[in-house]
Amino acid sequence: MRADRTRPRLRIQPLGDAALLAELGTRLDTALNTRAIALAAALKKRRDVRQAIAGYASVTVQFDPDQATHESVAAAIERLAAKRPPMAEPGRLHRIPVTYDGPDIESVATRLDLSPEQIAEIHTRPIYRVFLVGFVPGWAYLGPLAEELELPRRHVPRTQVPAGSVAIAGRQTGIYPLPTPGGWHLIGRTKVRLFLPDSDPPCLFRAGDRVKFFATEG
Amino acid sequence: MIPVLRVQEPGLFTTVQDLGRPNAISAGVPSGGAMDRFAHSAANLLVGNDPSHATLECTFSGPHLVAEHSCLIAITGADFDPHVNGAPAPAWTGIFLGAGDRLTFGARRSGARAYVAVAGGVEADRWLGSLSTNLMAARGGFHGRPLKSGDVLTVAGEPRKPAVSGRRMGEQLRPDYDDRTLHAIAGPHLERLSPEGRGLLFEAPYRVSRDADRMGYRLEGPQLVTSGEELLSFGLVSGAVQVPHNGQPILLMADHQTAGGYPVVATVVSAALPIAAQLLPGDELRLVEIDVERATEMRKALERGLDSLRLGSGR
């Protein structure tokens, strides 16, 4: 439906007996993400809301079931989502040095019919948005990645990806903050630390921030 | 800080836990905390603590602890056959240990996780607002790691209530741990399952696989096929039942990843999470769909049980 493009439908569903998932849309889209972050921030200010986490285009709201019901929180979400979100300040800009020598750079280059140098050039071109921080501590979903670099995830995920690996999958890119299993294609590495356990918040990137990669030797 | 308990043997996997760190979720840090929040809270209340105090979560087997100083403790959750100085000790009861007394555990008789609370609360590292152990970051709890032989636990302070032994929580006030029915509310992506798939989800028996830890349990059983486009990642909650591409559902537990993009077809209700926390690999379970109203009744019934420990002195 065309109408869906201009005014995405708000979909609010229970996520257990003390939480709701409010989906603002289904597309990877900066405007939707900005609205989700603003909605989560507005909900967090409510006394009956314990936690509100923005996803790409959604907000997961955990509420105090002694103070609120699914209906009362859903009504608050609808009211807040109908408001025009405040003009979002541009997020902080991070410049991240990357050595483009990841274990998958050759295979990615072959599959995309590009050279490793071209991959680095295309990957460093945009300023990416931090759509959301989550999955593992300090991990940030960055995008949108250029279409020329779009590939599905690896068929068989690696059981251990080294910390600092710069990776791509679909229209997204990211940096593994900790050694974890992972199914994305590893094209490079950075020495910048993303998970800062002794800082609060314990991560470099926050939702809404901007990230620019630049190529560096070793 | 008073040294109270010395760890003679740590048990298989014993960590310090509290009610978790919800404010760190936006940094991708799991909320964590006790898997069985009910048993954790009851243990605290039985010794006069607030439920927010830290306890020991003992997984699959119990530690051997020696009292360095007299203290009031309570053991709740799984039954690992507790003994004090070789004599059977009552669970779900405030018990007094004198200096030199030995708390030991025998073989596992039921459940997966026992909780040990000490009046005053276990002293631990606070990280991002919580005393819970986070192994991935090696922060919180007892230096960010499971207990080892030789560790000495201290108490955080005086309990809020006078520490009286002999207070007991009756069985009728606890969750029915023997009934492996996990009540659940329909999830936001349930419609991605076919009618047949929905029937399987809520009727077929599933089994906890070997791949089961504090992050979550992979379940074995009939394969669930979901349809529709890939979802954009969204924030997750404990109890969410995700269906990845292989069709074998995953039940998210306390240390679950904070965000993900697999369809959530059901969410186990908060009153049933303590039962889920006591399941072991190989245990069979059934998901049974209920509505929010019934889930609320179940939650309130358990809370009334905990409240009776707050108010009462020996009931």
Instruction: Mark yes or no for CB contact B234/A56 under 8 Å.
Output: yes
Instruction: Mark yes or no for CB contact A141/B233 under 8 Å.
Output: yes
Average pLDDT over residues B245-274: 96
Q: Is residue A116 part of a domain?
A: yes
Report the chain B residue with the minimal C-alpha distance to residue A179: B136
Q: Which residue has the higher pLDDT, B302 or B165?
A: B302
* Closest C-alpha to A174, from A207, A215, A128: A128
Angle at B129 between CA B61 and CA B21, to 5 degrees: 60
Q: Indicate the pTM of the whole model.
A: 0.94
Q: Does B136 touch chain A (CB under 8 A)?
A: yes
Does A61 lie in the same domain as A100? no
Strand (E) or helix (H) holding A141: strand A140-143
Using the predicted structure, report yes or no on whether residue B256 has a pLDDT greater than 80: yes
- Reduced to 3 states (helix: H, G, I; strand: E, B; else coil), residue B230 is coil
What tokens does A55 get?
């996803």
What does the pLDDT read at residue B315?
Answer: 41
Does A116 lie in the same domain as A37? no
The alpha-carbon radius of gyration of chain A (Å, integer) is: 19
What does the pLDDT read at residue B2?
Answer: 85
Reported as a single tens digit per residue, the pLDDT across A159-211 is 899 999 999 999 999 999 999 888 899 999 999 999 999 999 999 999 999 99
Nearest to B128 among A70, A141, A200 (CB): A200
Q: Does B87 touch chain A (CB under 8 A)?
A: no
Does A164 lie in the same domain as A129? yes
CB within 8 Å of A166: residues ≥ 6 apart: A98, A100, A102, A123, A173, A174, A175, A186, A187, A188, A189, A190, A213
pLDDT bracket for residue B117 (50, 70, 90): very high
Distance from the Cα of A91 to chain B's closest Cα (Å) equals 16
- Reduced to 3 states (helix: H, G, I; strand: E, B; else coil), residue A58 is strand
Does A109 lie in the same domain as A67? no
- What percent of chain B shows pLDDT beyond 90? 91
Domain locations in chain B?
2-166, 181-304
* Closest C-alpha to B56, from B129, B126, B144, B153: B153
**Which residues in chain B have Cβ-Cβ distances shorter than 8 Å to A202?**
24, 27, 29, 128, 137
Nearest to B234 among A27, A58, A177 (CB): A58
**Which residues in chain B have Cβ-Cβ distances shorter than 8 Å to A129?**
none
Domain endpoint, select from A82, A115, A137? A82
pLDDT bracket for residue A1 (50, 70, 90): very low
Distance from the Cα of B28 to chain A's closest Cα (Å) equals 4
- The complex's ipTM works out to 0.94
Does A155 lie in the same domain as A71? no
Does A197 lie in the same domain as A109? yes
Full domain range(s) for residue A173: 93-215
Averaged confidence pLDDT in chain A = 92
What does the pLDDT read at residue A153?
Answer: 86
Q: Is residue A196 part of a domain?
A: yes
Averaged confidence pLDDT in chain B = 95
pLDDT bracket for residue B311 (50, 70, 90): low
Does A25 lie in the same domain as A67? yes
Q: Does B215 touch chain A (CB under 8 A)?
A: no
Q: Is residue A113 part of a domain?
A: yes
Q: Does B185 touch chain A (CB under 8 A)?
A: yes
Instruction: Mark yes or no for CB contact A60/B235 under 8 Å.
Output: yes
Does A74 lie in the same domain as A19? yes
pLDDT bracket for residue A8 (50, 70, 90): low
CATH topology of domain B181-304: Cyclophilin (2.40.100)
What does the pLDDT read at residue B314?
Answer: 45
Q: Is residue A87 part of a domain?
A: no
Does A180 lie in the same domain as A104? yes
Reported as a single tens digit per residue, the pLDDT across B48-104 is 999 999 999 999 999 999 999 999 999 999 999 999 999 999 999 999 999 999 999
Domain total in chain A? 2
Nearest to A134 among B188, B258, B296 (CB): B258
